[in-house]
Structure 1
Amino acid sequence: MLAEAGQAGAAVARFLSTNAAAIDALADRLRAAPPAAIVTCARGSSDHAATYGKYVLETALGIPVASAAPSIASVFAAPVAQGAERLVIAMSQSGRSPDLIATVAAHQRAGALVVALVNDAASPLAQMADTLLPLEAGAERSVAATKSCLVAMAGLAALAAAWARDAALAAAVRALPDHLSDAFALDWSAAEAPLVAASSLFVLGRGYGFGIAQEAALKLKETAALHAEAFSAAEVRHGPMTIVRAGFPVLAFATSDAAGDAVRAVAREFAARGAIVRLADAGGGGDLPARATHPAIEPLLMLQSFYRLTNAVALARGLDPDRPPHLSKVTRTL
């Protein structure tokens, strides 16, 4: 896991080089015939990339983005209504989960344009795509996905930048490979001891950072056997914050924008209650170092730093992060 996470910068560079022409052509097509809605289809880490993509695409384009529930097609066999043009973005490391394939097929029959970001370019999902954007992450043998998740996020940011003709975001995406390598070297050991000793914790983000909060919580569950729950810094105020008291661990990701202000505010509030708060803050002043760049790119850099941390936490808790019990690399949900 540690070695594969460290390859993310090179993997993003390959993805951008391989897919530059395809992304530009897709962006031209989508500007000429904008979809009324965007539907994402993914599970696990790929679904957290989709959450990130929702914020990037909606803020850049103003087009609603919703997550498909795969059981609608695979369990209930419900048809998808014909109607306004839809874009379906399917994401998967393996491209072989039956419920994702069934969901994409149902939307395709209803006339949707399908874009697939898949690491296995020979997979059934990849073969179904109208536009295939291979992740180019290389072999990922650890059960816990790392570099493929980061590449999928980078791919969504690259598509949003090209589609919206956002020069600032495009420049930040181009710089991402080098910045990921720098982020992987940052020292987040200040969070290690509280997490090693924890039995439960909250992981907070907002806006562009909410998807990485989800991904961090999943990684702590699957690699370190920690009960971690991800919340938006706004949603945590609606009931869950009652749990936070003295000694309760909180890991928070704050971007340098207004969404990050909300994370910083709730982190201060929890710290005042005596919670053990560790804050990665691209706005400066956090316990964990984080680079300021485009706010939509900062979460990817924080996630890269986090992957090194969670590997260390798992090992310190006596677990093997590469082979979590009861899990397999390809999850074939129906």
Structure 2
Amino acid sequence: MFSGTTFALAAGLMWGLVFVAPLMLPEYPPALLAVGRYLAFGLLCLPLALLDRADLRALKPADWWEAAKLSAVGNFLYYLALAAAIQRAGNPLVSVIIGTLPVVIAISSNRRNAVRDGRLPWARLAPSLALIGLGIACVNQTELGALAAGDTRRYAEGAAIALLALACWTWYPIRNADWLRAHPDRNPRAWATAQGLVTLPMAVIGLAALWALQCIGGPGIGADFSLPLGPRPLEFIGLMLAVGLFSSWAGTLCWNEASQRLPTTLVGQLIVFETLSALAYGYGLRGALPAGLALLGIGLLVAGVVWALRVKPVAVEGAH
């Protein structure tokens, strides 16, 4: 429990960096930031693959296919949906929807993985879910207040696409944990590297698609934007390499280690560490302290995680 929680915390600390990148490069389109992140992730995994070449050779074609599906859904489809939702509805609505991840994953996996992981009793799980949900609402109080304004149709479209992003990132940690728990003898580091390797060709295709869209005047990138590195190439390359190494590879590695040690219901709630990290980095970058209600929300999030860690799974009939 302790080591698994520590790995989940480390993953959250590194994943939170992703939310700072758009603030540091505001003139870069979100689609290019996503492609740049996973292009860097894939390139960094090429030399890292030498460290795990024996484990990577042991992966079967079905394992590589699973890694490809995880990367396609949990990386590209998730971020494309997220960017499209923000373009239509803005950050307020999307933040509220994506912020429900810890609760949605916990509810989805408590029944699905009960035989393998044990069931977390709903009566004991409910207080932690309520605290996390209330904390998310408090942190997003200004976002919730902004929902009444704006184009109703665009908000509806943004909400639908944000729900797709929510579904992608609900599916990814559950499916990823399934593979890791089914292969306890496999190296989680090699599995993170495998996902990076299959991400590389996807990123190359994504970059080519952005070039094609720019040539035909399609949405997503302006005609005057200088592909592929943009107006600040050195800052872009450095930030993408940092995010690719820490947020993508190291974050995935730590999350894999946590997923092998903890019940899926619990590890799903620990995604809240990503939210807390993103908030801390965002306030630090702005040089401002959160408002009183936001501080209350952060406290509730922490309390919810602490409560969840005290709930022990109960074995069910059919469990090994």
**TM-score, L = length of structure 2:** 0.33
Higher helix share: 2
